Every structure is written in C-alpha cells, then in structure tokens.
C-alpha cells in the first residue's frame, strides 16, 4: 500500500520529466530497477534528479547526463533515529553524485580496517565483494515464480506494520564496512563451492527482500560448508546459510522463510541496534574525509578508529553467538510477513522447525534448540491463524529439488 501511495504522489505532483529531491542520506543510482544491478553513482540528500519514469518501487531518473534507477523510498523523508551514530557518519556534505568507484573504495577501506581487528582473511573480503548475480537470470527466475503480474497478488494480501523509524535501506559506509569484515570472518568457516546453488539461494532471498521493506538493500547470500543448522546476517545485507540447514530442508518455502528471518535482521538494523550502548564513543566526519585521515596519528582520530574496531569485534561476537531474544522474536514476526508477501506457504517453516527437533539436528545457535523451536512453532501457529493469507501460497518442492540434488 505504501508503495502505491508513493506512486500516486509522484503522479499527483507531475514529476514526469520534472525534478524531485532526494530525501535519504544515501541513495545509489543503479543500472536497472533492482538492488542487484550495479551501482553507477552515490547521491546525497537534497540533490535534485529528473524523473523519467515514476514507479512504486524503482524510479527511472536522470542525474546530469547519467540515467539510472533509484529506490522510490529515496523521495520519502526519513525521521531521524535518535542518537544513531552510524548514520551520522553519512550526514556530512560530500561531493554531489560521487562515482560508485569512490563509494566502493570508502566501504572497502573501512572493511579492511575492521578486518585487521577481527583477523579476517583479505581473500574472503575480495570474494564477497566480487560476487554478483546476473540480473536477467534472476528476472527470469522471478517470472518463473510469479508470471508477468509479479508478486502483487500476494503483497496486497499482507500489510506490514507501521514503522516509526523505518531504515529505508540506508547503511552508512562504516556499517557496510563492519558488515563486510564480519562476513569475511564468518566465511572462514568455509564456503560451499557450487555457483548454481548459491545463485538459487540468492534468487529466493531477493524475492523475499523485494516483497518486504528491504527491496533496495543490496543483499548477497552465501552458503557455509558446515553440517550444523545455522544462519547469520551482517549489517549492509550479507547473509549466510549453512549447507546443513539446506540439507535438512524439503522445499523452497522452507528456504525462503529461513532466509526471511535473516533479511528481517538486516532490515530492522538489529546488528547496529545492539551496538547503541557505544553511541557516545563515536564522533566521525564523512567517510570520505575519514579515509584520508586514517594515517594521521592525532589522538582523536586514533580513538575513533579504535572505537569503531571495538564495535566490529562486539558486533561479530553478537552475530556469531546469538542475538538478543527480542530481536529474534521481531525477526520471526517480520519473516512470516515477508515470506507470505513473496507467496510462500508459512506452514513450511513450522515443518522445518519440527523436523529439526525430530532429527536432533545440531545447531550452535541458542535460537534453534529444541526448546526454542517449540516456542517459535507456537508463536508462528498463532500468528498464521490471525492472518488472512492468499489462497494460493506455494512451497515449490520440484524447483528446490532441481537445485539441491
């Protein structure tokens, strides 16, 4: 419904060929209408763009001589989250329409510094940065799922809760750096080397993100070559699912809801909220400026670097050993909605959790113990009864078998 309102607002103000103002701190201009398309430019809040084709999700615009697509949420003013130190790092003025190469260098610069504190592999960082899906192949996959009408029939049946402080897909440069560093460290558990399966997991995960409120976060999904049942999500949109979890699944809907839980962690910014207790320690200028100062030995700057390193270390520990229970419950609630909006049958996750318990499947995550699974099943069953779902929700056993066997 919110996306439809955005579209009406664009039409009502006659923005076809007119200018509109970016209201979000960070906005990426992309080659195509999706977060999985390469980014061309980074736009700042207050910048004007020429609207070419309004949309309820990805709007085609022109910036100078460059044409591309930006999230429709870029035109909605975001209420500031009180004492959000990481977004403050992106609030300072910077050169308008920064080339994406500069943004990538800034994020990579932060990641490399956090990597050092976490003692993470630089090779793993490079691998994560390089991975891309083919946008056309994903769009063909999405067409196979929904047909030419897309997911609209499912989305309109399930409303998302009103959010007082929606994230709007924004992550500061340092947050992305923290996420990349943590992902690099986690990948040292071993990545499962099967591109077809990894692409498939990404396709399913992106369908979840598109159906939720995280469609403009550039998610990437990786498979850990471990036998235990687990999943991890990092700030900025990097998600891991274990091979053991996939081996225990019986259909695509189970995979979808398993990933939806991690997508919800990212969209709700749980990794960063856990770090709010350290907000008074962070005082930073714009990321581009800061990168030019990291070799300076001034006490203030060294303190900043050390504080951010501490946050990376603490955030990794929280992700690796389990999040706060209230965030797990919130992610379950959003995962249920995200998955149903993507057309997947939510009873699939109940089946999966019960199968975990019956099989005594091992997980070092305290939120996937037999006791926790029982509580989650009860919570999901209650939530499902309270909703009016689309009558044709699916599980997609055959397609799941095609990619996993």
User: CATH number, domain at 53?
Assistant: 2.30.30.40
Residue 245 has a pLDDT of: 95
- Return the DSSP state at 191: B
Whether 332 is covered by a domain: the verdict is yes
Residue 251: which pLDDT band, with cuts at 50, 70 and 90? very high
- Return the DSSP state at 165: S
* Together in a domain, 101 and 247: yes
* Together in a domain, 260 and 336: yes
- CA quadruple 204, 207, 211, 217: dihedral sign: positive
Whether 190 is covered by a domain: the verdict is yes
Domain boundary among 48, 75, 102: 75
Percent over 90 (pLDDT), the chain: 42
* Together in a domain, 243 and 155: yes
Domain boundary among 75, 108, 132: 75
Give me the domain span that covers residue 18: 2-75
Of 209 and 274, the one with more pLDDT: 209
Q: Is the pLDDT of residue 290 over 80?
A: no
Of 67 and 15, the one with more pLDDT: 67
Q: Give residues with Cβ within 8 angstroms of 134, minimum separation 6.
A: 199
User: Which conformational region is residue 190 in: left (phi greater than 0), alpha (psi within -120 to 50 degrees), or beta?
Assistant: left
Q: How far is CA 208 from the centre of its chain?
A: 10
Residue 202 has a pLDDT of: 98
Q: What gap in Å lies between CA 127 and CA 32, rounded to an integer?
A: 23
* Together in a domain, 100 and 239: yes
Q: In sequence order, what E strands does 37-178 have?
A: 39-44, 48-53, 58-63, 66-71, 98-99
Nearest CA to 22 out of 49, 58, 3, 42 is that of: 49
Q: Is the pLDDT of residue 340 over 80?
A: yes
Q: What gap in Å lies between CA 239 and CA 132, rounded to an integer?
A: 14
Residue 66 has a pLDDT of: 94
Of 76 and 380, the one with more pLDDT: 380
* Together in a domain, 46 and 139: no
* Together in a domain, 128 and 220: yes
Q: Where are the alpha helices (DSSP H) in 268-369?
A: 270-273, 287-291, 299-321, 325-341, 347-358
Residue appearing with tokens 């498979």: 223
Contact (Cβ atoms closer than 8 angstroms) between residue 73 and residue 267: no
Q: Is the pLDDT of residue 349 over 50?
A: yes
* Together in a domain, 71 and 97: no
Residue 83 has a pLDDT of: 43
Residue 92 has a pLDDT of: 44
Element (H, E) at 27: strand 26-30
Name the domain count of the chain: 2
* Together in a domain, 109 and 29: no
Whether 82 is covered by a domain: the verdict is no
Reported residue count of the chain is: 405
What is the tens place of the pLDDT at every residue in 132-155? Answer: 999 999 999 999 999 999 999 999
Q: Is the pLDDT of residue 278 over 50?
A: no
Whether 188 is covered by a domain: the verdict is yes
Q: Give residues with Cβ within 8 angstroms of 304, minimum separation 6.
A: 282, 283, 284, 290
Q: How many helices and strands, by DSSP H and E, does the chain display? A: 17, 10
Contact (Cβ atoms closer than 8 angstroms) between residue 264 and residue 331: yes
- Residue 143 is encoded by which pair of tokens? 């067409």
* Together in a domain, 357 and 331: yes
* Together in a domain, 257 and 372: yes
Q: What gap in Å lies between CA 353 and CA 20, rounded to an integer?
A: 47
Whether 248 is covered by a domain: the verdict is yes
Whether 301 is covered by a domain: the verdict is no
Q: Give residues with Cβ within 8 angstroms of 359, minimum separation 6.
A: 248
Whether 287 is covered by a domain: the verdict is no
Q: Phi and psi (nearest 5°) for 10?
A: -65, -40
Domain boundary among 75, 101, 129: 75
- Residue 201 is encoded by which pair of tokens? 């997991």
Q: What gap in Å lies between CA 314 and CA 309, rounded to an integer?
A: 9
* Together in a domain, 172 and 267: yes
Residue 338: which pLDDT band, with cuts at 50, 70 and 90? very high
Max Cα distance, the chain (Å): 63
Whether 312 is covered by a domain: the verdict is no
Contact (Cβ atoms closer than 8 angstroms) between residue 49 and residue 60: no
* Together in a domain, 13 and 124: no
Of 357 and 56, the one with more pLDDT: 357
Nearest CA to 209 out of 319, 23, 335 is that of: 335
Q: Is the pLDDT of residue 258 over 80?
A: yes
């Amino acid at each position: 419904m919110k996306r439809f309102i955005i579209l009406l607002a664009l039409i009502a103000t006659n923005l076809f060929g007119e200018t509109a103002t970016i209201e979000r701190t960070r906005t990426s201009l992309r080659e195509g209408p999706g977060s999985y398309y390469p980014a061309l430019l980074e736009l700042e809040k207050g910048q004007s763009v020429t609207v070419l084709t309004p949309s309820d999700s990805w709007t085609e615009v022109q910036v100078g001589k460059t044409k591309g697509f930006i999230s429709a949420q870029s035109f909605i003013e975001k209420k500031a989250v009180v004492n959000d130190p990481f977004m403050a790092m992106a609030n300072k003025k910077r050169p308008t329409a920064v080339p994406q190469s500069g943004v990538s260098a800034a994020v990579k610069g932060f990641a490399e510094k956090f990597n050092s504190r976490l003692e993470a592999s630089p090779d793993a960082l490079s691998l994560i940065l390089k991975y891309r899906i083919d946008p056309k192949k994903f769009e063909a996959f999405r067409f196979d799922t929904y047909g030419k009408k897309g997911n609209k029939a499912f989305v309109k049946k399930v409303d998302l809760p009103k959010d007082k402080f929606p994230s709007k897909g924004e992550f500061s440069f340092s947050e992305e750096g923290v996420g990349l560093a943590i992902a690099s460290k986690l990948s040292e558990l071993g990545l499962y080397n099967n591109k077809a399966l990894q692409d498939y997991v990404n396709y399913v995960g992106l369908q979840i993100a598109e159906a939720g409120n995280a469609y403009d976060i550039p998610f990437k999904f990786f498979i850990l070559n471990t036998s235990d049942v687990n999943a991890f999500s990092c700030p900025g949109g990097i998600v891991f699912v274990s091979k053991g979890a996939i081996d225990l699944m019986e259909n695509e809907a189970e995979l979808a809801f398993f990933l939806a839980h991690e997508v919800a962690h990212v969209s709700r910014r749980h990794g960063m909220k856990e770090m709010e207790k350290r907000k008074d320690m962070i005082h930073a200028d714009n990321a581009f400026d800061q990168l030019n100062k990291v070799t300076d030995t001034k006490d203030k700057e060294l303190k900043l670097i050390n504080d951010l390193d501490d946050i990376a270390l603490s955030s990794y520990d929280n992700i690796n050993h389990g999040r706060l229970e209230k965030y797990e419950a919130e992610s379950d609630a959003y995962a249920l909605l995200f998955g149903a909006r993507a057309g997947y049958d939510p009873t699939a996750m109940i089946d999966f959790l019960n199968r975990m318990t019956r099989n005594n499947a091992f997980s070092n995550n305290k939120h996937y113990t037999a006791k926790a699974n029982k509580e989650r099943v009860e919570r999901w069953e209650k939530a499902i009864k309270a909703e009016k779902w689309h009558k044709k929700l699916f599980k997609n056993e055959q397609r799941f078998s095609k990619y996993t066997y």
